[in-house]
Amino acid sequence: MEKSQLSAEEELLPEVILNRRRDLLPVIAQFGVVPLTEEQRRSLEDALADELSATGFNQDWQINERGERLENIIHFVLEVAK
């Protein structure tokens, strides 16, 4: 992922968590510094997947730009959690 893409995703992650799972704000504040637990990883993935389902597709169920950004974040979370 390029630096400019990462910045866009970095801005979207707190927005999603703020709207969907405020209890995870401390987790994303330490994201990449402190390893995620399995439960934290799953919770982040669930929140992101919920947001993807709600806002990541157009009326024809084609993925939109926001959906692509959310997919990038989901993949990034999976990579960091390894």
Could you tell me the pTM of the whole model? 0.84
Q: How many domains does the chain have?
A: 1
State pLDDT tens for residues 30-78. Answer: 887 888 899 999 999 999 999 999 999 999 999 999 999 999 999 988 8
Q: Check pLDDT > 60 for residue 5.
A: no
Tokens of 77: 């979370």
Question: What's the domain range around 46?
Answer: 3-80
Residue linked to tokens 């009326």: 59
Tokens of 82: 């390894």
Q: How far is CA 52 from CA 32, 33, 44, 46, in A?
A: 22, 25, 12, 10
